[in-house]
Structure 1
């Protein structure tokens, strides 16, 4: 190897030139020929990537297996209710018997509604330059800023909490204010006109 400064020959494995002390030049990395040709053929393109924030739900929603389990439990408990309803007509009706028969119905309804909510609940929101991307269990939707023609509703679910419901492409998305407090504040301003 020849030194780029003094031109003297020295061993390639030495870190610097032994005669003048110049640092060894860094080796150039060679690109494969196909990459070199494509780089030479195309002009340089600078792609600007979108900058966005990702918010995950604070509440842990179950996955698909838990969802199937909820539906199975709801169906089983509803079948128990139907069997008990048949027994209701064979015996004299009392308050305790009515209560015993309709408890499985209430449990079944709660599991069905919880499973339905779990499917439609937003689990992650990405905030981009001009829109939100809402992610549910199986799909996603883009919610543009300031779009007022979408179906939207806000429900009070607690003393200081709201649930936002958006219908995008005939799909329902539930955004819980407790899960996404930062995004909920922005949604209040953009879609419901509250400061």
Structure 2
């Protein structure tokens, strides 16, 4: 799929496979349930306490990029709670938040890794590189049983360039449309009766 979209090879995220623990990632200051390294994964949230875990990484979007391909794998951990917990994934750019994923533990597949992939359009970035953030949040509610966590892995963000042929095709398609319109007008004039 990546080659079809013309995705650049360089991942804009560092350590998205968590092979180096949580290096390159930030645990939000208001996090009260924790984020721990797993075995090549990140464990966002923890069993038992209620609260919120915020986990993110800032990255640079190169100038003039119009789209991002965002991928990650996640799995709900352990057991479904009596009251739903929530998992959110977001892209934050220029003070605006684009919700990538919002899922409750009632909908989640426990113990099964689920892949997320999406291409997201960006506002025009023409003056230079821009900083963005990919953020993951677990919101654990009041539960009598152990609660949940999210096991996160394979996070990648790639800039999707405009296909090289598009700038070449655009003028040709415009000329073809103009010519076709003119040809249609010529036929209309030729068919019209003369008074």
TM-score (normalised: structure 2)? 0.21
Q: Which has the larger radius of gyration?
A: 1
1 or 2 for the larger relative contact order (CA 8 Å, sep ≥6)? 2
